[in-house]
Each structure stands twice: as C-alpha cells, then as structure tokens.
Structure 1
C-alpha cells in the first residue's frame, strides 16, 4: 500500500514551477508542442475560456471519461458519456481545502498550468494571503491520481470536498460513526441517506474502516494516507462529503471512473490486494462459534461456562467452538486463570471438548498497570513508548482500566508475548484465540523503523499464526490486512431491531471495502443492553444463517439480562427456530465454500449489495435489507417486528424458497407475509451455483 513520506521534497520538486509563471495574472497556456497529437487512446488536454478538459478515451474494458478543471475558481468535474459522475462543490467550501491558523482556506483561481508527459500540473491562488496550492493530476484508463499540497503556509489539515448528489449515492467507509448511534445501533445505507460524522478515522482505530468510498455513479475515491482523517458525509444534512487529513503531508488521492460499482470495487482491490487465503476452515463456515461475552459479560466462571456448553449440547444446538471471553485472567495481562473462578481450567477445557466443541480464549496485548506482568514488561522495554515522552511507556485507558501495549515492532517483546501465549494454550488445551483491542494507539510512538500503519501488518502477522476460530480479528487499512483473509467481526451491537438492521448494512459496507469474510456481531447483540427479545434473537439468527459465517453468544435456551441480573428463559419455539437457522446455514456450507474459493480468485465479496450483480436495476441502490449471497442466493429476511415486508426482485427467474414457486424478476413483492418461522430467500435459477443453493435451501 502506497503511503506518503514524512518529507515533501520529492513532490515539491515534481510540482515546482517558475515563480514568475506562478504569479501570472491569468492561467498560462501550455507551451507549443504540449498539445502534440496524442497516440490513439491516450489522454489528451483541450482548453477553452475558463476551463481545461482532460479526455480519456474509452478502451476495450473501460468506459472513458472527461475531467473538467474550472480555472476561474478551481473546481473538478468528472464526466462519463456526457453525464457528471463526480464533482467538487460550488460556493465557498472549495475543492482543495486546508486549515491554517485555525481557519479553513481553499484554492481559488488557477494561475498557471502545464500539460507534459501525461500529467496536468496546476498552481492556484488561495484564500490565505501568500499561500498557493500546487497540484498534479495524472490520468489513466479507469482512474486519475490527484496529488496536491500547500506552499507559503503551514496547514495542519488538508481536505477534499465533493457534492454528494453529483455522484448519486455513496457507499464504502466501513463501520461509520453517526449522530444517531452508529456504528452500534445505526449504519446508514447508502451513507448519504443519513449522516456520517467520523473524526479519528485512522489506521489505529478500533473500527473496521478503510479510506475508500464508491458511488452509484460508478466512481470511487481512495485516499492514500497513513494519517488520521476527519470524515464527514452529509453532516448536518449539508449534502457534502468532506475527507480531511490531519496532517500537512501531501494529499494523495485516486479517483476511479468505471462502468459499474463492482468495477470500481475490483479496481480498488487491485490496489490493496485480495485475500491470499481464508483464515476460517470449512467447518467454521458451516457451524457457528459460541462465545461467552453476551451470555455472561464479565460475570462468568467455570461452572457457568460448563452449564452454558451443556445446555447448548442438550438442546441440539451445534457449533464448532466455544470461547471463553473477557474476565478469565487473574489480572489483565497476567495470562493466568483466576483461581477462585476457575479452580480447574484443564478439566473445564476437557469437558468442553467432550461435548464436541473446540475451546477458545479471549486475549489482548494490553497489560494493565496492576498486572504482575506490567513491571516486567516495562523494565524490559516490551511496551510501546509514549509519543510525547519516549523515555516512558505509553499508557492507554480502555474499558477494563489503564494499560500498556506490547510492542510488536520489538522482536524481543513479540517473542516474550508469544511464548507466554503458547505456554497457556499448551497447558490448558486451548485450540484457538479471539484477539481483542488494538495493536497500536495514536498516543504511543512506534518502534524504531516503523510507522503507526505498520502495526496493522504486525498485528495481522501475529494473529495469522493462530486459529481464530471464525471470529477473526479487527485489522484494517494496510494491505496485509486485506491479504491475510481474516474473518471480520463487527463492533458490539445493541439488542434491538435497529442494531439487527445495522448489522446487515454494516456487513455490506465492510465486505465492499475489501474484507469479504464477514460475520455480524454476536447474534442478538452484545453491548450490555437488556437481553434480546425472542423475536429479535430468532430473526438475527435467521439473518446470520444467510451470511458467510455465524457468530453466536446469547443462548436460545436461556440467558441473563445484564441490566437486571435476572435469568431469561426462552420458549421451545425459540430454540427450535434457532436450531433451524443453524441447520440451514450448515446445508449452505458447500455453496458457501464455493464462494470462498471464488473470492480467493477474484477478491469479490460473498455478501454484497444487489446492485453489484444488477447494476442497471436502479431500485437496488437504496435497498439495505436485502443482499446477494454469492451469485445465486438473494436473502430478504425480516428485520423488523412487522408481519409483512416488501421484497424487490431484480430481473431474472427466481425461485421463492418459502412459497415453492417461480417468479419473474424485475418486480417488487408487496406485503410478503413473514411469520416468525418464515425467512424469505430466493434463488436466481440461471446463476452459477443455483443447483447447489436450491438443494441446500429446499
């Protein structure tokens, strides 16, 4: 993954222009010869009063496009086939923005330009006295590179702004912070249908995010940075997308221009890389993993965990693994069991194995200050250093106290941590791990020779050595995270209908920024709200059964309400319907495994929005409660407490599994009845894999 250097000398040299020319009162035209006849299909530049136009002809597999640069007030408009598909905003916002001395400024009139060697370079005046913007635009067949920076001022932020409507609807981003509870209880789909207000959008974030956005007009934006961003999409319903970098380093962006959103996604994956393998095994796709967190939160012990496992087993609720989550250690970072709560961890592990589950443990690289290992780690230099004072360890506050973080950039620290981890696994028969928390924090300084973004790669490399048991890991932003092929689990969700709906749209967002092996948060939610109702729990299981993997915690037999401490007992129908959902997912496993293999070849997501497969069906671009599971299965489960729902079927011939009938597509089924035992799902009879999907779903 390309990253900007700390210094800007190379870009300055490349963009430097003679001072006299930069001060010209009007844009200086290119020299004679710069507009020499281009080779066939090569980009060409034309100029007219107040405008420069870059034209990239269509190719065999590319649609071609025009980029219009307005010179009187610098603005960028991308057009394809005579239609605008992306444009910077008019007015005072400015296309190329920067903040200096606490105030936002922007580029204004273009004062000089040249067109040489396939690149358009620009100098523009700005609203800041004495400051100019130096920019270079380099067109290619299906994209253009936009690199720019500020001279004559000392900005602390650089930003791009776009008029959202110019490109239709916006997607991508990953888990989005929103004013109405996102990402825990809300995830707008498309992004512009709500508001995204996401400061701290960066490579050390706990959220699964990448600086990539794409649109219904088949354009896309990738910001190539290792710095923290401040992203706002339709904030205050202003109709703008603002993508700001908290740094004065050169702003480097790629704008993709394609025929369909899927083509844009494939271009992006061509840059960041597709998975080299799947971290999860066939069995982990076929059966759910059970994790103790939402069932008990931190009120868990050996007896409770074994009772949990026994109840699942006796109810015929299958799973490939049972994981003990947070609150098993004597102190965070000790890697020793709390002797009072777990008098015989080896016997506990043996019993879980006897019930047919693998045994897993929750672990973290964060060592609390009161851990008996903290002082040892600090004294040996095994912890990340403080960014403001590298003479001392960095301390960070998290949901379990104050901690230091094991420095994976230090080979000795990594060896020490892994040695303790492997001893723990060997002693207690631990089959796999759930790595939680982050591998870096912006308050810390990276190890010598490393950058903050490198810790995504270091974390991915560490986790890749262990069985993650189908719950994956939360690494992002770096190419290593894309190529490792981890399962991606979502941030904690609430236990209501809004979180169930957010779990669907969030998976669509995560899987279409290059992380195709997705699971929702724990079925039923896990953020400490009242226990899920019967209907939410069942509908969530039915929904997850039509996704690549199932990640479970709340038992459909009984659970504990964390807000009251009282036991909640579900009825026999809850257990039966949950069991049916698991069985349906297991029958789909051969079809799902085929999709995994296809993804390893192409990088295409398994769970994806309908418009990836049906780009010409405009109705699909705002549907967030249906999705394609591979090319043949359309999932439309009920995600509300209503007795019916509307279902849109794109063009094609579809088999309605619930009603046993064939339907011609290009239609919307209104008031489709959805009693609790019914999960609407359809098979595209002419799609690859249709026969295998039909056998599974019937």
Structure 2
C-alpha cells in the first residue's frame, strides 16, 4: 500500500498479481477509490493515507479524500489465499462507492458472465478475455436479464468477488482505458474478497466455496444426447399451427436426432393469457401429432402479464402483481419487448399458486411436457412482497418455480451468487445470425462456465435477433461447434427458413441437412463422455466446457485463445468460427490424437493451416489418459469419413 497515493498492491511470491488504479499514473489516471456523497452530484476521490493500524486480525486504514469533509475507512482482513477488503465512507455516507483496478497489472481478465459492450454485447459481442474489448454495464445486478456474477479472475491467478445483492455499475476498460471499475449504488460499504492463488482454476474453486456447486443437473440424460427444436428463429411470432407442424414433419423426415419440439412466442391470445390465439385452431391435435412422431412438446411462457390481458386484470384485482416501488398502491409497470406489463409476484403464495395452476392446466388438458421460461422475476422499479426480501430472493423464487417443470434442455436464466447450486441448464441470451454472433456465443459459454454454471447451451443454432437467416456456412459451423458443448439447442431448419426481413424463402441444400445431422449425431456419439462430465460437475462444480489454461496454466498461448476449448479434460475442440476452410490450432503439452487422420501429434506447439473444409470440425483427443480410448471409439466414424473423402 502506497501512503502518498493510496494504491493497494497485491503480490504473490514477490510478483504483482493485482493492483488498484493510481490517479497520478498516466497508465490509469483513476483513483483507487472514489464515491458520490449523499446529497451531492459530484465525485470525491481517496487521495492519501492518513493513518493505519493493525489489531492482530485486521488492518484499518483511514484515507484522506479530495474533499476534507470526508474520509474513507478501509479494512483489510487476511486469510489463507485471500483477504477481505471493505471500504466505507466516513461522514454522511455515499450513494455510490467505487473501486478501480489497473487491468494491466493482473494480466488478462475473465469472469463477469454475459457482457454488455459498446459493440452490441452480449448479443453479437463477448470479449474473451475481457480485456480484449471493453465492457460497460450500468445495471449489473440480480434483477438483470443478463446472466452475470460479481466475480472476476485473472491470468495471474488473482480474483475478485464483490459481495453485494444490489445493482452495480461495472466498467472494464470503457470508462477509462485499462481500468476496471466497480461501483455499488445502494449506499452500503463496498465489500470485496481478493483471492490469490497459483492458477486461475484455484481462484475459481475459491469462488465456488462462496457460490456453491450444483447439487444436480436439471436436465435428464436424454437431453444431453440430441437436440431440442424451438420455433423462434424459424417463425418468430409469425408461427401458426399449420406452419409449426409442417416444420416438425420436415425435420422428422431428415432423421436429425431430437427429443423435443418447443413452440415459442406467438401462441398466446394476449401476453399473459394462457389461451391459444386463432392461429392455433386445435392445440390438442398439434401436441398429439408431435407426440406421435416420438417427441416431447414444449411451450414458451412468461411471468410478464400485458395490461390488455385478462390475466393482468385478475392478478391486479387480487394483488398478485409486484407493486410499484414509488407507489405501492399500484402495480409495478414494466416495459418489455412485447409491450407494457406487470410481473407476477412469486413471493405472494396465492399469486404463485395461481400462476402454477395456469401451467398445470396446460399440461393436464393438452399434454404439454415442459416449458421455456422467458422472463424476469423482478424489476428495479418494483417493490418486494415484504421488506425483508431483495432482488436476489426473487432469483431464488424463480428458480424454485422452474424446478417444478421440465425445461427441456433450454434451461432458465437464473443467476447471481448462490444460484449455481441449483444446477439449471443455462441458456445464453439471444444472438444474431452472423459470424460475430457465433463467436460471441462460444466466448459466452466459456464465460458462463467459469463463473459457476457448467450446464450451458448456446443460443439456438444459427441465431435470431430478427436478422436475415444465417448463411449455410454459419448454420453448419454453429451446429458443429455446439456439438462440442454440453447441450444442443436448435431452431433454424437446415432444410430451409423464411427470411422475415424480406418475406422470401431461403432454401438450404441437401449437404446442409447432411452436415447438420452429422453434427448432432457426433454430439450423440460423445454423450457418454459428456454425461461423465455432468456427473463430475454435480457436487464439484468443475466446468464441462473450459479454456485450455484451466488444465495448462503454464502455457501463455492458452490465455488468449478465443476459438478453442476443452470439453471435459480430454477433448480439445477447435471448430471453425469464421469463413474459412483451414485454421491454426494450438495443442498444449502432451500428445494429441487426430480422429480424422489417426495420427498422434506432439503438443506445446501450433499446428498451422489445419485443413478444415465444411465437413471437418478440428478436434483432438488427449493421449494417455483414462478417457482416451472411449473418445477414440466415439469418434471413429470421423476417420472412416476422411478415408471415404
């Protein structure tokens, strides 16, 4: 700690692994701490150390500030491999209190979850590592729709957990170059835990001690073995009963392995009413036909009840909606992508029972097998049911609701520290249909996996976001990449799709169908191996999909790889995520078997220009481990296919 400028420096074995920013430094030009005093619109910065004392347990530091009316009290409490750091404003308090770190001092940064960025993240952009781009999220917290966690870690094996259940502003290189800024906005002290370990994997384990580990996998085994089809990108809200069934029949005819057909948005008579509109004249017949083809039937649902729905009026009259924070006599008014609505208050036992009865009715009357929950459970403008509840409690309530129903491999978007233990499949936020979205999707799976959510699935293969359909190459490469992740989630049919931006039909060729089918079959071939990773993740929290530095932390090349990962410990995935027919592949230490050629290659080197025509997804099996032969057997068809070519 520098007394003249109040700069905190964390070292391990004499080397800096984390360092706060320095207002006097040209590299950061930001204070270690600053705050917005209560009743003031300006910021006050910590400047220098006034005093420091050690009581045998904790170090207390009083810092001077740029406004002599205020001082800042820092309390540092060391423990094995970590220390707790609390900052509190002395005086009238603060509406915002921020800590700033020099990102360059720690190497590369990871964690966070889905990242809001100036380049349209998290939809079409997700920096990996985080310092390869910039991040700015001014509503980072438990009420956010984005899957986020207040945990970051670095390539120098330091980590940062911010213990809060309130909204934060998080800036990673956006507000100031090379500066990570974390500001709590609830007037409370800023409580951090700094981890110091030998490897990033160990830092992750430290966070798991706080967040918990999955006690189950919400998805049954069969959902890891093939794909689920969801209607969204194929139809958006233009879906009809006739169109949905024709789509299902065509896909059934292709023989692409699947377990469920799920009807997404576009079926409700009004948003919030669990009745079908006129586009679905016989819902029971639709469900029955899907069952007759051998699949489960799923349905999209939401806790948003639009103001013009009958259920909104029922819920409002009975006090079953979240109340407005500014006027608790009125329902909380929220705006979502389908209009103005209220949110069912899951903390109200009567409201929750009523909502569940709607779902149970669909299951009993129509034979619906499960649901895709697409909703927020709370909003910043709302008040909790009782004063002792917070935003994080509504995440837990949403999880408890969803746990009663089959989520059909599409999972649910429940996040924040502690919800890792629930073991839900985590579904990414919507992606576009271009290469940038495919890349963002894979980066995001790594980010989510390494903040404690091992059961991840990308957004639906091929993307959506109302954009023109994916090209053949994007669609196929997305399916190939998704085949090397824990679960697969499909929508755009490889037989063809409507371009809803023009109204024209887009036809894919027979090769598209064949390659898509091959990707899903490959995922099925790997399912025994994947399920073994699922079993390990339950109780341990070990990611299934992970960056190469997880197992090879000494190899610096692994820290910036954004298009390769390990599936489990023993399968190296290097799919093509751009318009290309070859790619460079980094093989870490050891020996690696190429299932396409049957050759074994030495590692700790680059393989340049590895041939990757559209029928090839580069991957390598780690030799001399327990799973080597299992993986070789599972992928034996790739060599036979290569010989036929």
Q: 1:402 aligns with which of 340, 343, 349?
A: 340
- Whole-angstrom distance in 2 between the partners of 1:636 and 1:529: 27
Q: How many residues align?
A: 628
The 4+ residue runs of structure 1 with deviation greater than 3 A are none
Is 2:575 the partner of 1:643? no
Report matched runs for 1:295-694 at 5 Å. Answer: 295-338=234-277, 340-448=278-386, 449-479=388-418, 481-694=419-632
After superposing the two structures, state which structure 1 stretch, 228-237 or 408-417, moved more. Answer: 228-237
- Structure-1 residue corresponding to 2:76: 137
Is 2:210 the partner of 1:210? no
- Whole-angstrom distance in 1 between the partners of 2:119 and 2:46: 33
Q: 1:78 aligns with which of 10, 13, 33?
A: 10
- Whole-angstrom distance in 1 between the partners of 2:624 and 2:503: 52
Partner of 2:601, secondary structure, is strand
Aligned 8 A contact 1:545 1:584 in 2:
yes
- Whole-angstrom distance in 1 between the partners of 2:633 and 2:208: 32
- Whole-angstrom distance in 2 between the partners of 1:373 and 1:180: 38
Q: CA deviation at 1:308?
A: 0.8
- Whole-angstrom distance in 2 between the partners of 1:478 and 1:558: 41
Q: CA deviation at 1:532?
A: 0.5
TM-score for the superposition, normalised by structure 2: 0.96
- Structure-2 residue corresponding to 1:21: none
Is 2:217 the partner of 1:286? no
- Whole-angstrom distance in 1 between the partners of 2:150 and 2:456: 19
Residues 94-124 of structure 1: per-residue CA shift (max 9 Å, x gap): 1122123222222222222221142111111
Q: 2:33 aligns with which of 96, 106, 125?
A: 96
Aligned 8 A contact 1:285 1:593 in 2:
yes
After superposing the two structures, state which structure 1 stretch, 99-108 or 601-610, moved more. Answer: 99-108
- Whole-angstrom distance in 2 between the partners of 1:564 and 1:644: 33
- Structure-2 residue corresponding to 1:121: 60
Please, which runs of 5 or more residues in structure 1 have no aligned partner?
Answer: 1-68
- Whole-angstrom distance in 1 between the partners of 2:128 and 2:74: 33
Residues 173-202 of structure 1: per-residue CA shift (max 9 Å, x gap): 011011112111111111001111111111
Aligned 8 A contact 1:454 1:478 in 2:
no
RMSD over aligned CA atoms reads: 1.0
Residues 636-675 of structure 1: per-residue CA shift (max 9 Å, x gap): 0111102211100000110012222100001101111110
Partner of 2:8, secondary structure, is strand
Q: CA deviation at 1:602?
A: 1.5
Aligned 8 A contact 2:150 2:417 in 1:
no
Partner of 1:289, secondary structure, is strand
- Whole-angstrom distance in 2 between the partners of 1:121 and 1:266: 28
Partner of 1:373, secondary structure, is helix
- Structure-1 residue corresponding to 2:27: none
Aligned 8 A contact 1:456 1:478 in 2:
no
Residues 509-534 of structure 1: per-residue CA shift (max 9 Å, x gap): 01100111011100000111001100
Q: 1:230 aligns with which of 145, 169, 186?
A: 169
- Whole-angstrom distance in 2 between the partners of 1:252 and 1:209: 18
Aligned 8 A contact 1:457 1:478 in 2:
no
